[in-house]
């Protein structure tokens, strides 16, 4: 850490988490940008792969993306042929989003980019430390959701 950073800050887990998150967001963003994508694309494709076709609203909730951002990202994914929209047979006002075979291939490529970014972000940690950190962060997140 910078020698000019007050020690009281470097002893606050919340400050360390915020600083680390800033660097992690930059590294992940750069990795996806190098692959011509954004984090929202990965999150939406991952949600479709794991849970199957869904409404735009359900995708937003499951991937923790604001509704307006979901629409914009889905427009981009649809334009590139990674997802398809079709009317919901139960409610004509909604669309159901389905991942295409091309979208599944895109998801695999983005997963590789995300994995590389994780390796860069957490290079200072052993695999056991990374697993422990993931567990701890998951507990923190669950507490606040």
| Of residues 35, 14, 58, the one with CA closest to residue 117 | 35
Sorting pLDDT into bands at 50, 70 and 90, what band is 3? confident
How open is the CA angle 138-127-109, to the nearest 5 degrees?
Answer: 80
* For residue 132, pLDDT beyond 70: yes
Q: Are 21 and 30 in contact (CB under 8 A)?
A: no
Rounded to a whole number, what is the largest CA-CA distance in the chain?
61
Tens of pLDDT along 16-36?
999 999 999 999 999 999 999
Record the pTM.
0.89
How open is the CA angle 114-61-55, to the nearest 5 degrees?
Answer: 100
Q: What is the pLDDT of residue 2?
A: 63
Tens of pLDDT along 103-130?
999 999 999 999 999 999 999 999 999 9
Regarding beta strands 54-55 and 91-99, do their DSSP bridges make them parallel or antiparallel, or are they unpaired? antiparallel
Q: What is the pLDDT of residue 145?
A: 84
Average pLDDT, the chain: 95
Q: Please tell me what DSSP assigns to residue 93.
A: E
């Amino acid at each position: 850490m910078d020698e000019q950073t007050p020690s009281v800050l470097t002893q606050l887990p919340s400050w360390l988490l915020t600083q680390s998150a800033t660097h992690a967001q930059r590294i992940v963003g750069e990795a996806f940008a190098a692959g011509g994508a954004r984090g929202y694309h990965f999150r939406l494709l991952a949600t479709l792969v794991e849970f199957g076709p869904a409404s735009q609203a359900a995708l937003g909730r499951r991937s923790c993306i604001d509704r307006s951002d979901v629409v914009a990202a889905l427009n981009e994914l649809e334009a590139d042929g990674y997802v398809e929209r079709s009317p919901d047979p139960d409610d004509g006002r909604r669309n159901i989003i389905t991942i295409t075979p091309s979208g599944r291939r895109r998801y695999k490529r983005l997963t590789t980019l995300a994995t590389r970014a994780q390796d860069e972000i957490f290079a200072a940690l052993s695999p056991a430390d990374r697993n422990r950190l993931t567990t701890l962060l998951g507990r923190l997140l669950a507490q606040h959701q």
